[in-house]
Structure 1
Amino acid sequence: MTLKTILHNNHKELALIIGNGINRYNSDAGINSWDAMLLELWEKHTLEDAQAIPLGISLTEFYDALDLSSQLKEKNLQKEFCDFLTGWKAKPHHHAIVNWAKNLNTPILTTNFDETLSDCLALNLHHADGQRFTDFYPWSSCFAPAPVTNVAREFAIWHINGMQRYSRSIRLGLSHYMGSVERARALIHKGNPGRLYGDNDSKIWNGENTWLHSIFNCDLLFLGLGLDTSEIFLRWLLIERAKYFKTFPERARKAWYVYAGKDISQGQLIFLKSVGCDVVKESSYDALYTDAFLPTS
């Protein structure tokens, strides 16, 4: 199985979930690296040298440690992190992936904060739930050619962990992620009718106008995303997704985790398989970000 065959055979009900690997591909060393950006903020705010994220602490915990250890009286770490993203430009592979998704009406969900993907098509931001919009959790907001009526079956670009233009939405620390878990749990489990686990139509629930709808109603393909133990929120969602499909097996969807480079850990493999995710290793990063999305002649 290859990425190209997955895309060809399963594109009709697919959602792409894209991580920062797409920005690091073909970039200068150290550019577009979360680690490098957090280390730079650490040195600025704590006045301590830091060459690498130490063992024994996740990226999310490191951010919270930075927040707690900062020597500056006035700070806005989320905005400072967003400032690092200024000037990021879409490259040919960004355009190829976005054009592929648009042509096949495939939603894109990204854990990235930058708007590089939406810049590829100069997409406008639409708020599906305008009256209840909050820049703290813009989960019903997406970049698209037009307002979206079916989240799981229409092309749009959704930001899972917040977007650059709304710095308060940026999810960086463990406390941020836990807030996202609480919000998602309320949408999934509370309210009747309205809870995902209700006997009502699976397309009608509290989160139907948010990117969460694609998580539970699409086949998922993970690309350029570590999905390691720092990704607490997304890993929790995959556990919830697997439990949901166990309760309603007739609603089950497929998922693939596609990667290149060094092998993933045994623990990572166990986790992905337990939540129903097939693991596929590609031969190269070119195959991952370029070859599979090029138009076939």
Structure 2
Amino acid sequence: MKTLLIGNGLNRCLNTNIDWGNLLNSMKEHYHLKDKIHPDISFPMQFECIANHVSKQKHHKNVYTLLKEEIASKVKEIKAIDDKEMVPHSYFLKDKRYKRILTTNYDYVIEDYLKHTYNLADEDLTSNQKEIKYSLRRYRKLQDTYIFHIHGEADKPETLCLGYEHYAGTIQYLRGKLALKETSPLLHVLKNKQVTPDIIETYSWAILFLIDDIEIIGLGLDESEIDLWWLISYRAYLKNMHPEASRYIHNTITYHEIISEHSDLQYIKKRKSLFDSMDIQYTMHEVKHSNYLEGYYDIAKTIE
């Protein structure tokens, strides 16, 4: 089965979209931290720095909750104003060709598109919301389409994966669940290649990286996304070095990157080298004048 992994790139076409750099800067200004935290620090580490400083300022018993609630309130403002803004989403979500969608986004633009396009009501939405902090088995379901907010969702601020404390907790869980021992039932799952809700409940959405063909779009996937890079690295290990699992892992993962005529060639070489080494197909889509809409259209035509 094919799975789609969507990042924040598609949301750039929305007037209400949030630039994460600007959001962190506004938080630093609000707490008078602009001169104390360098902007070149990775986003997850900037969040941890903000949390540490705010904890000293406010002596709040749960600073993570405080900051996540502030961010969640901003995320809830992300919505498509009209059909035109939803054009890039329509390229990939029309005809409901993907029954499993992973997204790092905290907002509900994907659900809004599906409800609007297929005249679905809120009553058509079901979900698994048992987890309090993490989003490993959490999903929302519209008819036969499963949507996994793998880094959390706005309605549950505690689930927002923003700093390394949260990323590390996710990796700790994944390492435990995806560990392959001699008698591990995971080998049978990899051989059978049938992903049911019970399989997700046991192994989390991460099992899809070992079974499904995945198209990755609109996701920067820089090296601070340590949960996804751990999973990509672990898949490469199982695929190439594990004596048993290597017999069963044959899925294809493709990363689509939109580049412009001004893109740094050294950056492109570095990215291609990294993805090639991890057994991820790297596909470039060149556009002029940073026309991302054109880039997403080209990606959609490529993977149809």
User: Which TM-score band applies after superposition, normalised by the shorter structure?
Assistant: 0.7 to 0.9
- Output aligned runs, 1:69-148, within 5 Å: 69-70=53-54, 71-74=57-60, 75=63, 76-90=66-80, 91-93=85-87, 95-97=89-91, 99-100=93-94, 103-122=96-115, 124-127=125-128, 133-146=130-143
What residue number does 2:34 align with?
Answer: 49
Query: Cα gap change, 1:86/1:68 in structure 2, threshold over 3 Å: closer, same or farther?
Result: same
Q: Residue 10 of structure 2 contacts residue 89 of structure 2 at CA under 8 Å; is this kept in 1?
A: no
The CA distance in 1 between the partners of 2:10 and 2:252, in whole Å, is: 22
- TM-score normalised by the chain length of structure 2: 0.77
Aligned length: 266
Report the CA distance between 1:83 and its aligned residue: 1.1
**Amino acid in the other structure paired with 1:219:** D
Q: What's the C-alpha RMSD, in Å, of the aligned pairs? A: 2.9
Partner deviation per Cα, 1:138-171 (whole Å, 9 max, x = no partner)? 322322223xxxxxxx632111111111111111
The CA distance in 2 between the partners of 1:221 and 1:125, in whole Å, is: 25
Correspondence 1:267 to 2:286 = no
Q: Residue 94 of structure 1 contacts residue 117 of structure 1 at CA under 8 Å; is this kept in 2?
A: no
The CA distance in 1 between the partners of 2:298 and 2:276, in whole Å, is: 26
What residue number does 2:121 align with?
Answer: none
The CA distance in 1 between the partners of 2:14 and 2:189, in whole Å, is: 47
Query: Cα gap change, 1:199/1:86 in structure 2, threshold over 3 Å: closer, same or farther?
Result: closer
What residue number does 1:169 align with?
Answer: 159
What residue number does 2:296 align with?
Answer: 289
Query: Cα gap change, 1:207/1:175 in structure 2, threshold over 3 Å: closer, same or farther?
Result: farther
Which moved further from structure 2: 114-123 or 198-207? 198-207
What residue number does 1:189 align with?
Answer: 179
Report the CA distance between 1:53 and its aligned residue: 5.3
Report the CA distance between 1:135 and its aligned residue: 2.3
Structure 2: 5+ residue stretches without partners: 116-123
Q: Residue 4 of structure 2 contacts residue 98 of structure 2 at CA under 8 Å; is this kept in 1?
A: no
* Structure of greater relative contact order (alpha carbons < 8 Å, 6+ residues apart): 1
- Output aligned runs, 1:30-41, within 5 Å: 31-41=17-27
Report the CA distance between 1:244 and its aligned residue: 1.8
Larger helix proportion, structure 1 or 2?
Answer: 2
Q: Residue 3 of structure 2 contacts residue 101 of structure 2 at CA under 8 Å; is this kept in 1?
A: yes
Q: Residue 47 of structure 2 contacts residue 162 of structure 2 at CA under 8 Å; is this kept in 1?
A: yes
- TM-score normalised by the chain length of structure 1: 0.78
Q: Secondary structure at the match of 2:214?
A: strand
Q: Secondary structure at the match of 1:208?
A: helix
What residue number does 1:253 align with?
Answer: 251
Query: Cα gap change, 1:199/1:92 in structure 2, threshold over 3 Å: closer, same or farther?
Result: closer
**Amino acid in the other structure paired with 1:135:** I
Q: Secondary structure at the match of 1:121?
A: helix
Percentage identity across aligned positions? 23
Structure 1: 5+ residue stretches without partners: 1-12, 147-153
Query: Cα gap change, 1:138/1:125 in structure 2, threshold over 3 Å: closer, same or farther?
Result: farther
What residue number does 1:18 align with?
Answer: 6
Query: Cα gap change, 1:73/1:290 in structure 2, threshold over 3 Å: closer, same or farther?
Result: farther
Q: Secondary structure at the match of 1:260?
A: strand
The CA distance in 2 between the partners of 1:192 and 1:141, in whole Å, is: 29
Report the CA distance between 1:245 and its aligned residue: 1.7
Q: Residue 222 of structure 1 contacts residue 256 of structure 1 at CA under 8 Å; is this kept in 2?
A: yes
Which moved further from structure 2: 270-279 or 70-79? 70-79
The CA distance in 2 between the partners of 1:241 and 1:166, in whole Å, is: 29
Partner deviation per Cα, 1:88-143 (whole Å, 9 max, x = no partner)? 1133225404533x53244210111111111112361422xx7xx21212322322
